[in-house]
Structure 1
Amino acid sequence: MLKAHSSVTALLRTTGISIRPEVTTLRNVACMQHLLGAVRWKSQLRPAPLLTARPSRALIDEQISIQGRFLPPNCPVTVRAHMHSEEGDLWEAFSHYNTDENGVVNLTKDPSVGGSYFGCEPMGLFWALHPAPSAREGLRLRKRDVETPYVVQLSLWEGHMTSDQDTMDELAGCLAALSVERWYMAPHTRRVEIRQNGVVGTLFLPSGPGPFPAMVDLWGIGGGLNEYRSALFASKGIASLSLAYFGHKDIPGPPNQINVGDDYFRSAYNLLQDHQEVCGERIGLIGLSYGVYLVLHMATHIGLKPKCVIGINGPVGSNDKWPSMMSGSSLKAVDEHGNFTVKDMTMPYNIAKDNKIKIETLECPLLYILGEDDNNCASVESANEIEEVLRSAGKAQLFTRLSYPGAGHLIEPPYSPNTSVSLWRAKPKRIRAFWGGHPAPHAAAQEDAWKKMFDFMDCNLRR
C-alpha cells in the first residue's frame, strides 16, 4: 500500500495536485489512481475518431444525417459509401471534405470539394453510388426483394483519397466505419402476391386499419414485376398494386410482347377496387415510360374512373412496332452507337392518330413528370401534345407538368442512383439502353418530384 501511495503521490505532484500523508487507505489510493488516469487522458489523449449516421435504419426516401467527429481540425478527410447489389456487384461513392476548427465534418451542411459529387449534398453518398471500376458493364441498380434492405457501409478516411486508393488497402487510413440499412418497406407493411382472375401482381397494404386510398402501379418495356415503388407507397399510407403485364413467367404467351388486353387491366383495377382494405372510390394510376401510355389508356378508353393519373416520361400512344421493340430486335430502336432508344418512335408525329390516347376524354387530374434530358422517350413532345389537347378541350385545369432540366428517363424514388446507360440485351448482340440524365440534377429532380407526387396524391386521393 505504501508503495502504491508513493507512486501515486509522485505522479500527482507532476500535475500540481498534492495529498495529505494521512490519506493512505487502499480505497483512497484506488480513487487517486482513477483520478490520475483521468488527468492523463485529459491532458495527453483525444477521443478516437467517430462516424455517426442517424437514423441508421430508414426508408430509402428518407434523409439521414452523417457526421464525423473527434478529428484533427482543418484537415482533409474522405467519406466513402459502398454496398453490394443483390447480384453481388460492388457499388461505391466517395467524397472529399475538410474538417472545421473543432475537428468536425457534417454532411448535412458542409460542402464536398471533390470525389463523386461537389457541394452541399446531404445524401450525395447514396444518389452518387456507381459501379466500382472492376464491376460488370452496363449495370443498373434495382431492388428485387423489397423485404430485405440495402446495407450500405460508410467509412471515414484520412486525407483526400480516390476510389483506386480505397481499394488498395481496406485498413490503411480508415479512421471509423459503420453500416446503415436502407429499406423500401416499413415495418408492418404487408406484401400480398396476386394471382387472381389472370391478374399477376403484388399488392402492398399499409399498417393499421383501412380502408386506404390506392394506386395501380405500372412500369415500362423492361417487363417483369417491379415492386419497390409500390412498397414505398404503402409505407407512406397508400395501398398500391404493382402490376405485371408482360415479360413475366405467370403471364401466358410469348415473353417479349404484350399478350394482355383491356380486360386484363380492367380486372386488375376492379380487383383493387373490391378489396376490403381499399377505398374503392379513391384509386389512382401511375406509370413510367410505356406504363404512361397504359395508365392513360386505362383512364380514357376502358370505362374506369380513377381519381388521378401520374405519368413519368412516357408516350401519348402506341404503334405496331412495340412487339419487336420489346425484344430489342427492331433496328429502328437501336441507334448507331448500339444504344436502344425509342425516342424517335415515340414522337407524337410518328404515332398514328388511331393509336393515340384520346386525351380529350380525360376526366381526372393528370400529373406529368418529365426529364428534359430523357434520351429514351419523346417526353417533352408528349407533354406538349397532352397539354395542347386538354387546353383545346377546355380541360387545361386537369394538367400539371413537372419539368426537370438535366434529368433523364428513369425518375425514381429519391436518393436512388441514376443510370444513364445500361445493358439492355447481351445476346445475340450486346445492346445498351440509353436513358440519359446527369447525376446531380437528376437526383434533385427525383427528390422534388417525389414530394410533389405525394402532395398530388394527398390532394386527389385523401380529400
Structure 2
Amino acid sequence: MLHVDKVDSLLTEKLKITATNLVPFRYYTTTKVVSIHIVSFDLMNLEKSIYRKTNRYVELIMVLYHYYVDPMGLFISLQASQELRFGGSLRNDSAKPSLISDSEKVLDEINLKKHWFHPLVTKIEVSQDGLYGTIFKPPGDGPFPCIIDIPGANGKISNGVAAVYSLEGFLVYTLAFFDYKDLPKRFCSMNGPESFYKPTALLKENGKLMECEYFDHKLSINFNGVIKQSPSFTAAFEKLKPETSIKWNHISKNISFRIISTLDDWILDGVVNGSNVRRQLINSGHHVEIDFVPGGHLIYVPYYPHSSHTYNKFDRLSLGFGGECTLHGKSQETVWENNFKFFKKVLGTPPSLPDYERDTVVVVPDSELKRDSKL
C-alpha cells in the first residue's frame, strides 16, 4: 500500500511517498519512526559512567497532520517524542514511515535510508600543527569551489553541516577552533580574557589592543530567577565610541554576504540584528542578501528534527530556541536551497556528483532500533 520512489537517498533529496488501495472517507495517519543517535552531553552532573552511555539509539516518533500538501511533510514536521530526554540533541540517520488506519492497525511500513554523506565523497581527517578538522573532497581532480564551515555550537569538529554541503559537489573544510585537543578550552581564551567582564580587555585587532567598555552586571535585575539585563546593556551602549565599533568600511568589497534571520528566535532578536547588519553592509557598499524566515534559533540542514530547547553544557542550562515545528522545518528546506543558489552565484557551480549504487530494499536490524531505547 505504501510506495516510496527512492528508499535510499541523500539527505537533501526530496521523496515521493504515496499510499494506494485506501478506503474513501476513512481516517488514516502517516507516522514516521526515526532511529536517531544521541549526541553526548553532560546533564545535571550525571555520573561519568552515565555520561559515556548517552551515545545510544532511541525512537523518535512524529505523527503528521497535513495543513497543506507538501511532498516532504513527513520530514519537515519531525519533532522529538517523550522518549527523548528534554534538551537532548540528535541527528537523523534512518527513517521508517508507517501507514496506520483509524483502528490504529499498522497497514504497511517501509524502511528508508537518508545519507548525510555521499558514498563517493572522500573524507580526509586533518590533525597537524594545531589545525584540526575534516575535508570532504568530491571525486575527481578539481578545481572545486570551496566552502569553509566553522560550526559555532561548541568549537569542536562537527561534520554534520559540512558533509551535507559536500552533497552538492563543493569541496568543504570544517575546522575546530576551541575546546578541542590542545586548542584553547574556552572561546574567550582565543583572543584575550573575559573581555565583557573585566574593566580592561586584551582583545586585539590587527595586533593592536581594542578599546572595550566594561559590562556592569550589578545593574541587572533578577525577577524570580529571570535576569533582566537591559539596564546593563543600556549603560554599556551609552559609552560606545566610533573607536569601539565594527569597521564596516575595512571589509573587502569583494566579499559577498548572505544573512539568515529567524522571526521566532528566543535567544536573539533576528529581525533587529539581521536588519542592522544588512543596513551597515549596504551603507558600506557591500553586496548582501538576507532571508527573514519563520523559525527558531538553530536553522540547520534540511529535514533536521526540530528542537525548541537544547541543553548548553557551558552555561549548564537548557536554552529556549523557539520556533513552530512545521514552519521551522520548512524554513530549513528553503534556506538550504537559497544558500546554494548564493554559493553557486558567488563561488561557481561545481560538477554534479555521480550517482552511487542505491539499495532497493533497506533492512534495519531490530536490535539496532530497540537498543537502549529507554533513557
- What is the TM-score with the length of structure 2 in the denominator? 0.72
Tell me what 1:414 maps to. Answer: 302
1:229 aligns with 2:161: yes
1:53–1:67 CA contact under 8 A, matched in 2? yes
Distance 1:349 1:409, change over 3 A: farther
Tell me what 1:126 maps to. Answer: 75
1:89–1:131 CA contact under 8 A, matched in 2? no
2:76–2:330 CA contact under 8 A, matched in 1? no
Which of 282, 285, 288 aligns to 1:391? It is: 282
Distance 1:381 1:84, change over 3 A: same
Which of 155, 172, 197 aligns to 2:98? It is: 155
Distance 1:210 1:449, change over 3 A: same
1:360–1:389 CA contact under 8 A, matched in 2? no
1:83 aligns with 2:14: no
1:257 aligns with 2:257: no
Which whole-Å CA distance do the structure 2 matches of 1:124 and 1:217 have between them?
A: 28
1:93 aligns with 2:62: yes
- 1:232-253 Cα deviation digits (max 9, x unpaired): 12121111111111122x2334
1:446 aligns with 2:335: no
1:71 aligns with 2:22: yes
Q: Secondary structure, in 3 states, of the residue corresponding to 1:82?
A: strand
Larger radius of gyration: 1
1:423 aligns with 2:311: yes
- What is the TM-score with the length of structure 1 in the denominator? 0.59
2:177–2:183 CA contact under 8 A, matched in 1? no
Moved over 3 A (4+): 256-262, 317-322, 334-339, 348-357
Aligned residues: 311
1:360 aligns with 2:249: yes
Distance 1:219 1:63, change over 3 A: same
2:263–2:295 CA contact under 8 A, matched in 1? yes
- 1:43-97 Cα deviation digits (max 9, x unpaired): xxxxxxx21212111111221111111232332111111123213232111125x
Tell me what 2:109 maps to. Answer: 177
1:369 aligns with 2:301: no
Q: Cα distance, 1:137 vs. partner?
A: 1.4
Which whole-Å CA distance do the structure 2 matches of 1:178 and 1:370 have between them?
A: 37
Letter in 1 for 2:120: H
1:191 aligns with 2:137: no
Please provide the CA RMSD for this pair: 3.7
Q: Secondary structure, in 3 states, of the residue corresponding to 1:130?
A: coil
Q: Secondary structure, in 3 states, of the residue corresponding to 1:391?
A: helix
1:184–1:231 CA contact under 8 A, matched in 2? yes
Farther off after superposition, 369-378 or 237-246: 369-378
Task: Name the structure where helix makes up a greater proportion of residues.
Answer: 1
Which whole-Å CA distance do the structure 2 matches of 1:232 and 1:319 have between them?
A: 38
1:78–1:160 CA contact under 8 A, matched in 2? no
Structure with bigger RCO (C-alpha 8 Å, 6+ apart) = 2
2:213–2:239 CA contact under 8 A, matched in 1? no
2:36–2:59 CA contact under 8 A, matched in 1? yes
Give structure 2 stretches of 5+ with no counterpart. Answer: 39-56, 193-204, 350-375
Which whole-Å CA distance do the structure 1 matches of 2:174 and 2:268 have between them?
A: 22
2:34–2:60 CA contact under 8 A, matched in 1? yes
Which of 135, 145, 153 aligns to 1:213? It is: 145
Which whole-Å CA distance do the structure 2 matches of 1:432 and 1:373 have between them?
A: 17
Distance 1:67 1:211, change over 3 A: same
Letter in 1 for 2:99: L
Give the % identical residues: 23
Q: Cα distance, 1:338 vs. partner?
A: 7.0
